[in-house]
Structure formats: C-alpha cells, structure tokens
Structure 1
Amino acid sequence: MSALPLTRRSIFAQAWPIMLGQTTVPLVGIVDTAVIGRTGDAAALAGVALGTTIINFLFWSFGFLRMGMTGMTAQAQGAGDAQEVDAMLMRGVVIGAALGAVLLALQLLLIPLAFRVLDGGADVDAQAKTFVAARMWGAPASLAVFAINGWLLGLGRSGAALALQIVMNLINIGLDILFVWHFDMGVRGVGYGTACAEWTALAVGLLMVAPHLRGVADRARLFHRAAMKRLFAVNADIMIRTVALLLMFVWVTNAGARLGTNVLAANQVLMQAISLVAFVLDGFAFTAESRVGHAIGARSRPDLIRAIRLTSEFSFVCAALFGVLLMVAGAPAIRFLVTNQDVRDIAIAALPLVAILPLLGTPAWLLDGIFIGATGGRALRNAAILATALYIATDLILRPFGLWGLWAAFLISYLYRAAALGAYMPGLLRGLSDPIARTVPKTPES
C-alpha cells in the first residue's frame, strides 16, 4: 500500500471532502429545527431536542464502530496488511448490524427507561417519544454505516465517505420536508425521514465497498481470536469514553429542560450551531485519525509529529474563522429558524458564549482524533470520565447563574477534556520508536 504524503496540500485535500460531508450532518439537524421550529410549536421543537439526545445516546454509545474502525484500519494500512484491512470492514459491518438489531428489539424497554431519566414535561415527552420510536427503525442501518464510514476514513478515502454522507443527509432533508410539511406527520415524520435515509445509505455504502467484502474468504482470519480480542479491548474503552461524553450532553439537555420549555427549545437551536462547527472542524480531526494511525502502523515518529502539527495548524485557523462567523451571522440565523419570540430572545442572549466555543473546543476535538488514530482507548476513556465528572460539578456550582451558568459550565468542559488528553501526549510520543527512520520527502507546498 502506498504511503500517504504528509504535506499541507495533501492534508487539506483529504480534509475538505470530510468537512463538506460533515456540514450535511448538522444541516439535517438545522432543517429538522427549521421544519418544526417554523410551526411555532415550542413543545414539538423541545420534543425533537429531547428525542435527539436520547437517540444520540443510544446510537453513539456504539460510536466505536466508527472511531475504533478508523484507527485500526489506518494502522493495518500503514503496516501494509491488505487482508486485515478487508477483514476489518467485514467485522465492522456484521457487528454494527447485529448491535443495531439488538437496539431495535429492546426499544420497548429502552425508551421508557430513557424517559425516566429525562423529563421534559408531559407535552414535550409525548412529542419526544413519538420521534424516538420512529428513529429506532433505522438502528441496524445506522450502526453498520458507522463501520463503513470509519473504514473509508481510515484508508483516507474521504471522497467516498463524502459521497455516502451526502446521499444519506440529502435524502434525510428531503423526506423530513415531505413528511412534515406535505403529509403533516409532525415529529414522527422527522424520525421516519432519518430512518429511511439511514437504510438508503447502508445500501449505497455496501455497493461502494462490495469488492472488499467479497474478498474476505478466510473466515478463520475474519474472526481470528487475537484480532477480535484487540477489537473489543480497544472498542470497550472507546465505548466507555463515548458514553461518558454522551452523559455530559444528556446533563446539558436536562439542565435546559429544568429551566423551562423555552430554554430547552433555545438550546436546541444553539446546539445546531455548535454541531455545525464541531462537525466541520472534525474534518481535520478525522484526517488526524487517519494520518496518526498510518504513522503508528508504519512505526514512524517523524510522520506522527508532522501529522499532528499540520492538522493543528488548519484546525485553529478554521476555529477562529467560525467564531467570527457565529458573532456576525448567529442572530440573523436564529431569527430565520425560529418564529417564537421568547425562544429567539433566549438563544440570542447566549450567543456570545457559543461564539467562543470553536477556539475552546478545538484542542479537545483534535486530541480526540490523535488518540483515536493511535487507538489510545485508555487515554480517551480516562479523559472523558474525568471531564464529565468535573463538568457536572461545575454545572452544579454555576447553577444559580441560570442560562449563562449552564453554557459557561459546558464551555469549560472542553478545557477539562483537552487538559486530560494533553497529559497523555508525552507518553504517546515516547512510546513510538522509529527503527526504520522512514521519512517523507519535503515538497515546496509543505
């Protein structure tokens, strides 16, 4: 397998399709917000917010299917093991579909349990339950697509990942508008639209990777004991990390619900802005995953350091630009998305805090990418648990400050996570010997 060049040009060439594809992920949430928000029904909008939090918790608890897949695939590619690259894909798709089927089968147990933890009031809960029940039908497809996306990103095939993301999200947007505005299905239409889009994406993704799936003929290699043991060891830590961070977002949602329906609805609008920034900047974090994993698979310390430096440069420049954009365009966007004046006023009041989030969040997002690429599950797990615990303590301390206290605690949580992961960086660098001393030739654009 050919080495990936480490230049600014190649980093950006790999990152921009991911960034473009990632913009369509929060774009779906923005469209959901606009489709429901322009009905003027604050309870429906808050119900989508609450329901989305529950679905994200259930589905992204298995986010290791994307993250673990990227790091391990990149390392297999860096080591030149083409057979293991293909086997990783098959393992991921099979495990993802199976776990999604389990979620779907257990929905009658999981949904009531979730609403025992999160309580938005009778009207909001009724809307949220309708949304969640519809979304659950896409669970097997959604988790299998996680694996396909992670595999594509691990190989640096960001163009293919972009195509898959765009197909899923454009279908999602179109069906949401059709089901809600044309068929008047309300929040149920938003849920079914997403579920249908996830199954379509799985079909397209399987067509994309079919030659690699057909090439996995050695079943003994596919379920090799050592490979499966490593897969579950790495992914168990990433799963704990993901659950800890999801608990943080559940706490944020619950904190908003505690302040009333209008605050919960306003936070849903602001979270779309945060999602847009985070997903786009993840283009460089995902590139870091691939490049760091490739460097570690090739046992090249110089490549590791260079990959970290180049992706960091791009990340911080883009974060500063996003901060300015949120300050300039945030209020007009909120006025367009939401017709309820009380919800508008609350969202605009918190906008200054949201605008500084890109710069505060970038170190945490980038370090996530570095340690995912390095399959540093222990560091990811410990940092997430510590950051979540410190965030909850901070939120409780700042609770008397209302909305501003809620958002200040959330922003500080990113600093906690970055600091915790940063403490593991010296060990990561020391742990990679470079006996081959392989280097990438420098070029003018680097």
Structure 2
Amino acid sequence: MQPPAQPLLLTRRSIFAQAWPIMLGQTTVPLVGLVDTAVIGWTGDAAALAGVALGVAIINFIFWAFGFLRMGMTGLTAQAHGRGDRPEVNALLARGVVAGLAIGAALVALQLLIVPVALAALAGGGSLDAAAREFVSARFLGAPAALGFYAINGWLYGLGRTRDTLWLQVAMNAVNVAFDLLFVWHFGMGARGVGLGTALAEWVALGLGVFAVLRIAGPGALAGQRAGFFEAAAWKRLFAVNADIMIRTVALLALFLWLANAGARLGTVQLAANHVLMQLVGIFAFVLDGFAFTAESRVGIAVGSGSRADLKRAMRLTGEFSLGFGLLATIVSVALGGHLIDLLTTNDAVRAAAREVLPLAALAATVGVPAWLLDGVFIGATQGRALRNAAILATLLYVGTDLLLRPLGAAGVWLALLASYFYRAVTLGAHLPRLFASVAEPPPRP
C-alpha cells in the first residue's frame, strides 16, 4: 500500500505549490457555467435558457447545503494525517463516500417532493417552470455521485493532494461540456440535455475519483479498517462537525439570496448589473479559495500533530498570499473591469449601472480575504460551532445593514455585502484565542 502523502514543509514555496492547482482547477468552474449557458442560449430557446438559470439556482442551493461533505472531510482527514493515523485516514474516506452516496440517493427519492416546493418558492411559472423541472430532474440523477465526489475531494485536499483534485476537476468539466454539446445540439434535448450531461459527468468524476484514491492509498482505502469504519464515536463526530458546517452554509446561502433580492428591488437594469459584477466577485472567490483550501489542510495537520507554532505559521503564510492576490485582484478589476462588463453585456444601461458600482465590487477581493481565509482555518480545525455562529451572526447583521443602507440605492447594496465580509471575519477572529489555546505548544527541546 502506498502511504498517504507526507506533510510538506511550511514554506512559502510549498504553500504556493499546494495552492496553485486549486486556483487553476477553480477557474474552470465558472467557465463551465458559461459554456452551459452558451450551449442552451445558442439554441434560441429563451424559456429553456431561463429554465436552466432557475434550475441551477435550485440545484446549487440543495446540493451545496451538503457541502460539509467536502469541508468537514478536509479538516478531519488533515488532522488524522497530522497524527499519523493512517487507518483513520482511510476510514474517514469510506465514511464520507458512503454518507455522500446515501444522502444523494435520499435526494433522488425525495425529488418529487423537493422540486415542486422549490419551483413554487421561486415562482417562475408556465414554460419557465417546465424547463426548470426538466433540468432539475435530470440533475438529481447525479446527486449520489456529486455528494460522493465532494467527500473524495475533501479527502484529497486534507492530504494536500491538490494536483489530483486539479485533474479530476478538469476531467469532470471537460466531460460535462462534451455531454452538453452531444445532448443539446445533436439530440436536441434542451434543458433536460444540459442537466443530464452534468449528471453523467458527475458519475464519471466519481469513478475517476475512486481510481485516484485507490492509486494513492491502495485497494483497501474505501473499505477502511472494518472496526474503525463502524466506530460509533467517529460517525458521531463526523455528523456533529458537519451539522454545524451545514447550518453555516445554509446561512451564507440565505445571505446571497437576500443579496439577489436586494438587486431585484432596484429594478431589472440594476439586477442585471449586479449579476454581471457578481461574476467578477465569483472569480475572486474561486481563485482565492486556493489559499483558503490550503489553509484548511495545513491548519488541520498542525492541529492533528499538536503544534501551535505550525498552526500560526500556516495562517501567516496563507494569509500573506491571500492578501497579496486580493490586492492585485482589486487593482486589476478597477483597471480592466469595464472591459469585462462590456464583454458580458451589450446593454448600455446595464453597462452604465455596473460601472457606477464597479469600485465597490472590486474591493470585495481585498475586504473578503480575512473572512475567506478564516473560514479555511476553522474548517481545517473542525471548529464547526465557530463557523456556524459567525455565519448566522454575519447574515443577521448583513440584513440589518442592507435595510439601513437602502436610501443609498445600488451603492448601499454593495456596501452591505462588503460589511458582511467584515462581520464574518471579526466574529471568526474572536474565536482565535480559543483555537490557539486548544492546540498545545510542543515541549521544549532539551
């Protein structure tokens, strides 16, 4: 059996070596979304395009509510790896994949109840609902694979195997694009074709992920240690950590739903302008996730090995890179953001509205850094309660801030979003002393 990767030295070079594959892989995520939109958009079927957009919102909310299968797995795996507990590393993988497959199967079984409720809540109506239902029903077929793949990705991140996650991400996205073209353009399946293509790509990704973990840890990886796999305390900890992370994720999803509603309140033009600018913010977040995910792994290893010094060094090094790239992203966005706006929309009114608040959107790359990085720190430390409380408080404060800033119009919407990152960072930062205290200093050398 090939042992899991040994922890790398905590140097700037090793941090960047671990982060760049994540950054590159993450950039493919919005690109696939653009291809999905273009494939169905070029058919000229406006109802199908709108239905896919509505369906994506539903699927993202439902599937990502179970994103703890990725995040919780990263922290727990990194800590077991830091302790040198190889049997637990393998058992965690087995538990995570089994949990993902089981939850995904439950979603498939419950979709007849979930989909009508979701469509009613979003109130699309008519042909829009019909197209969204076709897309969502097809996507649900991939739910077990998607959630099982979350667990595999989290396990690989926990071990620092970011190059493996890169090729898996690229392979899944390439297959997704190929199936979209086949089902939509060749077979004329419309919205259902886009959903089915993504679902099949998720099953391909799960298969490739299983191959990857077997190559890394040996044929017994998914079987784990039988006693360890069924250990009640380990399952209890897995779901305790993940329950808090799930609440945290739902709170943040609610925040962004409120943000979308805030834009809609200002009219169609401003809503469209905010959507264009959120593509810019999404790129920031995806790229800077490279350092947040690296922090998850490095912090988890430091906590598992019981080294407060390594914990602080991991935070400092990932923080340096995050802040540097965040500042660079803000500068580039201010300088070139207008060109991106022109690329994404031809509507003059939308272009003008987006340019008015572009500087505030660009600031998200810098203002959001502490919140995104501390998220990674507390995920790696499996401090789910801190993540949960920070997300709930930040969301509540954000809603209050948005209400107070409504007289400022579009500027108020973006200022409230920036404030939400500040609230989350401050709340998580307040938990740092307790985190440091929980990790013992190594004994002095004789």
TM-superposition CA deviations, 1:380-426 (whole Å, max 9, x none): 00000001111122223333444333333222211111111111111
Map of 1:56 onto structure 2: 60
Query: Does residue 1:291 correspond to 2:298, yes or no?
Result: yes
In structure 2, C-alpha distance between the alignment counterparts of 1:371 and 1:84, rounded to whole Å: 21
Which structure ranks higher in relative contact order (CA pairs < 8 Å, sequence separation ≥ 6)? Answer: 1
TM-superposition CA deviations, 1:74-125 (whole Å, max 9, x none): 0000000000000100111110011011111111211222233333565655
C-alpha RMSD of matched pairs (Å) = 2.5
Following superposition, the deviation at residue 290 of structure 1 comes to 0.4
Equivalent in 324, 327, 349 of residue 320 of structure 1 = 327
SS at match of 2:442: coil
Following superposition, the deviation at residue 341 of structure 1 comes to 5.0
Maintained 8 Å contact 1:46/1:268: no
Stretch moving more, 68-77 or 253-262? 253-262
Structure 1 residues 135 and 217, CA, compared in 2 at 3 Å: closer, same or farther?
closer
TM-superposition CA deviations, 1:270-324 (whole Å, max 9, x none): 3322222101101000000000000011001110110000000000111111112
In structure 2, C-alpha distance between the alignment counterparts of 1:265 and 1:40, rounded to whole Å: 20
In structure 2, C-alpha distance between the alignment counterparts of 1:175 and 1:402, rounded to whole Å: 42
Amino acid at match of 2:108: L
Equivalent in 232, 247, 251 of residue 240 of structure 1 = 247
Stretch moving more, 4-13 or 118-127? 118-127
Equivalent in 102, 107, 127 of residue 98 of structure 1 = 102
Map of 2:432 onto structure 1: 425
In structure 2, C-alpha distance between the alignment counterparts of 1:361 and 1:5, rounded to whole Å: 27
In structure 1, C-alpha distance between the alignment counterparts of 2:178 and 2:341, rounded to whole Å: 22
In structure 1, C-alpha distance between the alignment counterparts of 2:381 and 2:202, rounded to whole Å: 29
Map of 2:113 onto structure 1: 109
Map of 2:442 onto structure 1: 435
Q: TM-score, normalised by structure 2?
A: 0.90
Query: Does residue 1:14 correspond to 2:18, yes or no?
Result: yes
Matches within 5 A, 1:244-393: 244-261=251-268, 263-393=270-400
Structure 1 residues 256 and 175, CA, compared in 2 at 3 Å: closer, same or farther?
farther
Amino acid at match of 1:227: A
In structure 1, C-alpha distance between the alignment counterparts of 2:134 and 2:162, rounded to whole Å: 35
In structure 2, C-alpha distance between the alignment counterparts of 1:114 and 1:394, rounded to whole Å: 28
In structure 2, C-alpha distance between the alignment counterparts of 1:273 and 1:37, rounded to whole Å: 21
Structure 1 residues 432 and 56, CA, compared in 2 at 3 Å: closer, same or farther?
same
Matches within 5 A, 1:109-258: 109-119=113-123, 125-180=129-184, 184-210=188-214, 212=217, 214-215=220-221, 216=223, 218-258=225-265
SS at match of 2:368: helix
Stretch moving more, 93-102 or 410-419? 410-419
In structure 1, C-alpha distance between the alignment counterparts of 2:50 and 2:380, rounded to whole Å: 36
In structure 1, C-alpha distance between the alignment counterparts of 2:412 and 2:109, rounded to whole Å: 39
Equivalent in 78, 81, 96 of residue 82 of structure 2 = 78
Percent identity over paired residues: 63
Structure 1 residues 419 and 276, CA, compared in 2 at 3 Å: closer, same or farther?
same
The number of aligned residues is 438
Mark the runs of 5 or more structure 2 residues left unpaired by the alignment.
Answer: none
